[in-house]
Amino acid sequence: MTPKSEALLTGLKSQDPRSIGRAITAVENNNEEAAAILAELDQDLIDNVLVLGITGPPGAGKSTLTASLISTMRDQGQRVGIIAVDPSSPISGGAILGDRIRMMDHALDEDVVVRSMATRGRLGGLCASAGATVRIMAASGCEVILIETVGVGQSEMDIVRLADITLMVLAPGFGDDIQAMKAGLLEVADFLVVNKSDLAGAEALCMDMEQIFSAKQEESGIKRVIQTIARDNKGINALYDTVNKFADFISSRGIKQQRRDKALDAETLDWILEMLRPKFIQAMKEATGKADPRVRAQELINTLISIH
């Protein structure tokens, strides 16, 4: 282990904001100290953290809901991590990173760790280093980590695999968007949050969603459709109490560990692809001929496998 890695690990244990940021950056950039840092993180802290995913269509109020949840958690004395995922340009790789701006109310709180991450063009919404970022935040003492992602409907499957519990946020008035999402709701979300529930159509939306979530609710006995008005902080305490009750349920049944095992397998595959990508790009540049792309891909794979 290098002196730099040791210094970063010491900083994580003391909850130093700069060390947390630099450790995450090292992983994102796949720097040489990244592996040493990740290998030495406190596993007990990682096991005990609650990872809460928040997704849903644009305009449903995800960021406002997230900010209200943070306030509730901080009122209870919990240290909170936030990963705000923004869409990145497929050309430049840059991202808007607007969620960090919306979190400014908590920017001066030393027990709120905010990190904006770009999707780097991935359809699922989360880049390969998001899982490592969760573990770094947990190792720095965060007890709850919120992942708020870009919200483009059913392409948000990555957040489900990374989060222990997933909230799907909807609001009245989305019409066809909600109809299109119904088929995937049972697979995607643990909870359906009807935000902006003071608007017309909220009760009808809740009744509709409760029918969809009835089987899940019977399984755990825990209410799965919850109404909030995040801008007025209404329903947030009840939402968080229910989420904590469900967290106890999935932990006691071994469901949380099952989800994390699957997440680690998927993340491992992500890193394999991420690490191989530069080699394949170079191999494509060096290859000759104009074969069919599938044939060409198989040839490149066979070549790289034979070399290594």
pLDDT in tens, 291-308: 788 888 888 888 877 765
- Sort 2 into a burial class: Cβ within 10 Å, 0-12 / 13-18 / 19+: exposed
pLDDT of residue 93: 43
Give the tokens for residue 153: 């409907």
**Mean of pLDDT values over 225-246:** 96
Instruction: Record the pTM.
Output: 0.86
Interatomic CA distance for residues 293 and 271, integer angstroms? 23
Give the tokens for residue 138: 């947990």
For the stretch 35-40, contacts whose Cβ atoms lie closer than 8 Å and that sit 24 or more positions apart, written own/partner, are 36/1, 36/2, 36/5, 37/5, 37/8, 37/9, 37/12, 37/136, 38/132, 38/135, 38/136, 40/1, 40/5, 40/9
DSSP E strands in 112-233: the ranges are 112-118, 144-148, 165-170, 191-194, 225-227
pLDDT of residue 296: 86
Interatomic CA distance for residues 161 and 158, integer angstroms? 5
pLDDT of residue 183: 58
| pLDDT above 80: residue 203 | yes
Q: Please enumerate in sequence order all residues whose Cβ is within 8 A of that of 286, keeping only pairs 6 or more positions apart, or say none.
A: none
**Mean of pLDDT values over 17-34:** 90
Q: Please enumerate in sequence order all residues whose Cβ is within 8 A of that of 10, keeping only pairs 6 or more positions apart, or say none.
A: 19
**Mean of pLDDT values over 274-281:** 84
